[in-house]
Amino acid sequence: MTEAAELPPAPEQAREVFGDRFEDAVRYAELLAEAGVQRGLIGPREVPRLWERHLLNCAVLSEVVPEGVTVCDVGSGAGLPGIPLALVRDDIKITLLEPLLRRTNFLTEVVELLGLDHVTVVRGRAEEVMGKLPAVHVVTARAVAPLDRLAAWGIPLLRPYGEMLALKGDTAEEELKSAATALSKLGAVETSILHVGEGIVDPLSTVVRVEVGESPGGVRFAAKRAKAARTGRTRRRR
């Protein structure tokens, strides 16, 4: 049996980023390194770089999330970027959306243990919850799927004039170009690539921002949303 990798001490940048929630961030890192690995939510090789590559890389997304908004973290997995974002920002309400039961069980345990009252865990796929969950200002995602597919899942969950913030790597620019037609059909009106985490992470975290107009998801998803809303009203009357 391979010996479990050891979680390194938290870097000084973590104290700066997480502030009063630093101890909670340490506990979350420990949970990822222990239960997260045991349950197959992250690979054991990721443990030595949990802080730099995962927690801090995700936490700096907060630099581009507006104040007081609602957020849906699509395909949240082990809680990245949703949990680090929640630890940094208690002014926003976050839904962690994840289809797999073993992952939602883990997320629920983390949320309860860390006392994240502004975080809700929902089990389901994005295409299943559209119209059932309240539309949000911001959709976040990390390493879930290629941008065109991710946008098809995430953008329909947005309120009019909302935005999707996707953490991407070196392929961000290429993905954005390839997805241009799909994004336009989904109601995107502006796209950009942002680099965040100056002085915190090296390399900087790359974020693809997709801003939508008055019809998130385009015409096709407007019809789906309307149908889901009608179904919801019918069920409530019963």
Task: Render pLDDT for 75-123 as a digit per residue (tens, 0 to 9).
Answer: 999 999 999 999 999 999 999 999 999 999 999 999 999 999 999 999 9
Cα(208)–Cα(183) distance, integer angstroms: 12
What 3-state DSSP class applies to 234? helix
Query: Can you state the angle between helices 22-31 and 101-114, rounded to 10 degrees?
Result: 150
Q: What is the pLDDT of residues 214-226, one digit of tens each?
A: 999 886 666 666 6
What 3-state DSSP class applies to 121? strand
Q: What is the pLDDT of residues 176-216, one digit of tens each?
A: 999 999 999 999 999 999 999 999 999 999 999 999 999 99
Order across the sheet with 158-168: list the strands: 119-123, 93-98, 70-74, 136-142, 158-168, 205-212, 188-196
**Pick from 194, 205, 198, 200: nearest CA to 163:** 194
pTM score? 0.91
- pLDDT for residue 234 is more than 80: no
- pLDDT for residue 229 is more than 80: no
What integer best gives the mean pLDDT of the chain?
A: 92
Q: What is the pLDDT of residues 133-153, one digit of tens each?
A: 999 999 999 977 899 999 999
